[in-house]
C-alpha cells in the first residue's frame, strides 16, 4: 500500500483569528500572530479548527484565513487546515482550496448536528479518502460531533493512504491506547495527535506523536517545552510542566463560553483579537475582564508576560 511521505508531529496550534473593530478578519494581526507562534517554536499551525471558531466564518472567510496563514508561515512549518463543511461535496471542495493555498494537510471533523452511526461515519470519510487531493487527518471531538470509533479509524487507515492521521480531543487516554494499538501495526506512518491540553504528557507518554492544543496559542513556549521534555525521557519534569499547563488551561476552557477564554489569553500576550462574533451580556463582559486579570497574573508567574 502506498502511503504519504509527509509526517505531522509535534505541537500544532489551533489558533484564533483576530477581528477588527467591525468584526472583519484582521489579516495583518493574524499574520503577525502566526509569525510570533512560529518564532516561539511551534511545529505547525491548525487554522479553522474549533478554537478558530470556524463555524462563525463564511466559506469565503475560511478560505481567506487559510491563505493568510499559509502565506505568513511561508513554508517554515506545516499548516493543517480545517476543511469541515456541511456535506461531503463541500468538504472536498474545501480540501481543494486548502491545497491551492499551500496547506500540507487538512483536518476534517465528523458531520455535525446529526448523530451518525459508525457505518455512516465510515461512509462519510470513505468519500473524502477517495476524492481529497490533499492528505487528511481525522478530527474526533465526540462532545461536539459524531464520534469516530477505533474500528472505523482502523478501517479508514487500512483502506485510504490519503488519510494520514487523527486528532483526538476526547481526552480519553485508554481510548488513545486502544487506537494506537489497533492502527500503528498496519500504518506505522499514521499520526496520532491529542487535542486535550490537560492530558498532553500522558498522551505523549503512551505514544502520541504530538498535540493540537488551544493553550498553545497562549503559551506556545510551555507546550513546546513539554513536548521536548517528554521526548527526552524526563517525565518528572514533564509532569511538573503539565501541572503548570493545566493550571493555565482550566480557567481558559471554563471561561464564558469556549473559546472566548483563549481570545483573552492571546490578548494577554499582546495581540488585538477583537470582539467575538458571538454577542456577550454585560455579566459575561465583566467575567471576561476578571479572567484577563487572572491570566496576566498566571503568565507573569510563568515568565511569559
Concatenating the DSSP letter of every residue in 65-125 gives HHHHHHHHHTTSS-BEEE---SSHHHHHHHHHHHHHHT-SEEEEEPPBSS---HHHHHHHH
pLDDT at 276: 93
Contact 106, 83 (CB under 8 A): yes
Asked, for residue 290, whether it belongs to a domain, the answer is: no
> Is 167 annotated in the active site?
yes
pLDDT < 50: residue spans in the chain:
1-5
> Is 33 annotated in the active site?
no
Catalytic residue among 46, 63, 122, 167: 167
Catalytic residue among 33, 139, 227, 290: 139
**Domain of residue 24, CATH code:** 3.20.20.70
| Strand 191-194 relative to strand 163-168, pairing | parallel
pLDDT at 139: 97
C-alpha cell at 193: 495527535
Asked, for residue 14, whether it belongs to a domain, the answer is: yes
pLDDT at 255: 80
List pLDDT tens digits, range 121-163.
999 999 999 999 999 999 999 999 999 999 999 999 999 999 9
List pLDDT tens digits, range 217-236.
999 999 999 999 999 999 99
Asked, for residue 183, whether it belongs to a domain, the answer is: yes
Asked, for residue 113, whether it belongs to a domain, the answer is: yes
Asked, for residue 1, whether it belongs to a domain, the answer is: no
Asked, for residue 72, whether it belongs to a domain, the answer is: yes
User: What gap in Å lies between CA 81 and CA 107, rounded to an integer?
Assistant: 6
Asked, for residue 278, whether it belongs to a domain, the answer is: no
Asked, for residue 254, whether it belongs to a domain, the answer is: no
CA distances in angstroms from 149 to 70, 104, 164, 166, 279, listed in the order given: 31, 25, 16, 11, 35
Residue 100 structural domain: 10-233
In the chain, the number of structural domains is 1
- Largest Cα separation within the chain, whole Å, is 57
Amino acid at each position: 500500500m502506498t502511503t504519504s511521505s509527509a509526517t505531522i508531529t509535534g505541537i500544532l496550534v489551533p489558533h484564533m483569528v483576530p477581528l477588527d473593530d467591525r468584526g472583519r478578519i484582521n489579516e495583518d494581526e493574524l499574520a503577525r500572530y502566526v509569525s510570533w507562534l512560529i518564532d516561539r517554536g511551534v511545529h505547525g499551525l491548525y487554522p479553522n479548527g474549533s478554537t478558530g471558531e470556524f463555524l462563525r466564518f463564511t466559506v469565503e472567510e475560511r478560505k481567506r484565513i487559510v491563505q493568510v496563514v499559509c502565506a505568513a508561515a511561508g513554508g517554515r512549518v506545516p499548516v493543517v487546515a480545517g476543511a469541515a463543511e456541511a456535506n461531503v461535496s463541500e468538504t472536498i471542495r474545501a480540501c481543494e482550496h486548502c491545497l491551492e493555498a499551500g496547506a500540507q494537510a487538512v483536518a476534517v471533523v465528523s458531520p455535525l448536528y446529526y448523530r451518525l452511526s459508525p457505518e455512516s461515519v465510515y461512509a462519510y470519510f470513505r468519500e473524502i479518502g477517495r476524492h481529497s487531493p490533499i492528505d487528511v487527518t481525522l478530527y474526533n471531538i465526540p462532545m461536539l460531533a459524531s464520534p469516530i470509533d477505533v474500528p472505523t479509524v482502523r478501517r479508514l487507515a487500512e483502506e485510504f493512504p490519503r488519510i494520514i492521521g487523527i486528532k483526538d480531543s476526547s481526552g480519553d487516554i485508554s481510548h488513545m491506547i486502544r487506537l494506537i494499538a489497533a492502527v500503528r501495526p498496519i500504518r506505522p506512518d499514521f499520526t496520532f495527535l491529542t487535542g486535550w491540553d490537560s492530558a498532553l504528557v500522558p498522551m505523549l507518554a503512551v505514544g502520541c506523536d504530538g498535540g493540537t492544543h488551544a493553550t498553545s496559542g497562549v503559551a506556545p513556549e510551555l507546550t513546546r517545552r513539554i513536548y521536548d521534555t517528554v521526548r527526552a525521557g524526563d517525565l518528572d519534569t514533564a509532569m511538573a510542566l503539565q501541572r503548570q499547563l493545566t493550571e493555565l488551561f482550566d480557567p481558559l476552557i471554563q471561561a464564558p463560553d469556549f473559546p472566548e477564554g483563549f481570545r483573552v489569553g492571546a490578548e494577554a500576550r499582546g495581540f488585538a483579537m477583537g470582539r467575538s462574533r458571538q454577542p456577550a451580556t454585560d455579566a459575561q463582559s465583566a467575567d471576561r475582564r476578571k479572567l484577563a486579570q487572572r491570566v496576566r497574573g498566571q503568565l507573569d508567574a510563568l515568565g511569559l508576560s
